[in-house]
Chains A and B, each alone.
Chain A
């Protein structure tokens, strides 16, 4: 046995927790409690698809899909046999090869982890873990070595841009706040991550909360604020809990509160729980919400840097922006500016989801291509299907087609392509995804979340949604496509805030790249992705072996046929739930979905 002390890291991010990782941790602690192997939990390790994840350090042995009953085997391998548990190794979906260490798994080895540096490696509820990993060194430097102007200058020179999606220069924003008049100023962290399909901020808050606290404290020092708020959605209970623990520990250690580290500088942070309104991710709405009102955006100027929360100069940044700050202060602006592209510096964090083999949380330098992200890190499309599009920027973004796979991703290239960076959701869509339905899905979201202040957004999104609903349900009219375009353009120019200005993007970008799918629905009575119920029918091929599995599971008793007999579907009764398609054994696979046929087929 090696002399080095072993540590078992059990991932307890939301994904792994819901797969019972706390029980695994307890079982491992039970097995190893008396030994010198330390068992600790961490925040999200990123490769959620393979969860629950257990890692043995220092070797970096990576165990995937761990179950509670595997605990004795893992313990045994550490204490007695010194043979790793090979059956729990990760299997590369592309090569079918087993890989023992996470350092060798392409999902990790192709990433550059700055914001996620500690996620999955430290215990987020233990401040000393963060400090041991170099945490709060940036704050010490900001307090004792740098003048506030120097901090701002450093952030400015680093080229960091707002990670919430807008992409405004962070340093410039800080400078405005610093120069604003006023004794009372606020620092606010926007953790109202509302984009469906995005969980980057959540993972940072859950996996490395001190990085955010440190970034905020440095910001406060730079602009001269004494009070900070974190606006976090109530739907993230674990993130809120870990933040509360982190704030309490930081106060205890003197990193927050009065006279921080004996510097004479005071700063404290409060958590405000959002109550479920997507529009509150917009900066003015967020501050109005903290003040106890309906969170409706207001006109700018004045910008928050002049008049924000309670009318005071306010600095508002995203979770990931703050998480970058301590690194910039610690390692210098030049170091940071050396990463990324000419105009977009640093890294981009993406929540990689949808029809992808390795869903999870990833971080790459700005300028990486979607092909690298999806195929090299993400392991390609799920079940060997064909790539169709990648959706970035959530409800404000767009769908980009295959031709975009080799374009470097940064703030500017995405906007040019009709999408946007957003806060970092990246949803991969395959041949089975209907682009009209995706557009409808996002419009359904924005229509509900529109605050109602601007008429074009309130009524326009409603009109667009109705048209999309009609197209998807087979009532499309020839003029619909042009109407959608006209509506989209006027909503963009007629709305006050980012929500309305970007709400038509999912429709406009799918119209730009996938117009043929709209036309198939409207003119040919056909859904090319075989997804819209109105246009499809299910059929059983003659390869059917008569196992009756589909008949048993059919919720509308539409499948007819005895044991070992060819089955068939009564199209009158079938309500196209697709459960037969789901349960038909993969070896037989005799259910076919057809589209573009007459209803009676």
Chain B
């Protein structure tokens, strides 16, 4: 962990206004914010650890648990909602054995919702590992997930 964090810190000056970009870089490296990293970020930016937690918990982007190897993000934007996003989420979660959003125990899948992917013309849509799939119905979700979700 130390080396990865050092490499990240070396790109910054340790100023308070860098907390968000630092958190983003750490999460990019680990897929989440490990507990140990929080204290080190606090030291590096010379603020109390509570402040780092305060910032990290405020923003939806940050998470404190590891994600699955495949991340399925179901869009819950307005256009997607009126074209059936709730059913898409339900089906996606059901197919990997989850009740709703969450990560499977084997860390194979994380199913999450996002506010809006921004391709509303393709509603309802989801992304699997950053690749967008649009104009979905339940049947297509099944096909997608059967194809390995990759």
Contacts and interface: CB of A to CB of B under 8 A. Distances in A.
Interface of A: 14-15, 17-19, 48-49, 51, 193-199, 202, 234-237, 272-278, 289-296, 351, 353-355, 359-360, 391, 394, 425, 427, 429, 433, 438, 441-442, 445, 451, 553, 555, 577-579, 582-583
A202 B118 contact: yes
Contacts of B115: 194, 196, 235, 276, 278, 445
A15 B119 contact: yes
A235 B58 contact: no
Interface stretch (B3-11, B64-72, B102-110, B125-133): B125-133
B123 A290 contact: no
Contact of B134 (A15, A273, A451): A15
Contacts of B80: 196
B54 interface: yes
Given A277-B60, A577-B138, A292 B19 contact: yes
A193 B16 CA distance: 25
Given A275-B20, A583-B139, A236 B78 contact: no
A498 to B, nearest CB: 17
A354 B20 CA distance: 34
B122 A15 contact: yes
Contacts of B90: 577
Interface of B: 15-21, 23-24, 45, 54-55, 58-62, 76-83, 87, 90-91, 94, 114-123, 125, 130-134, 137-139
Given A15-B122, A275-B60, 12 more contacts: A18-B122, A18-B134, A234-B61, A235-B114, A235-B115, A274-B59, A275-B59, A276-B61, A354-B83, A438-B81, A555-B94, A579-B138
Main secondary structure of the interface of B (DSSP, over half): helix
B87 A578 contact: yes
A282 B126 CA distance: 27
B55 A18 contact: no
A437 to B, nearest CB: 8
- A48, A197, A293: most-surrounded residue (chain B CB, <10 A): A197
A417 B59 CA distance: 33
Contact of A198 (B61, B116, B125, B133): B116
Contacts of B58: 277, 294-296, 451
Contacts of B83: 354-355
Nearest to A430: B82
Nearest to A355: B82
A142 B44 CA distance: 43
A583 B138 CA distance: 9
B119 A579 contact: no
Nearest to B116: A196
A292 B122 contact: no
B24 A354 contact: no
B121 A391 contact: no
Contact of A353 (B24, B76, B123): B123
A355 B81 CA distance: 11
B9 to A, nearest CB: 15
A221 B69 CA distance: 48
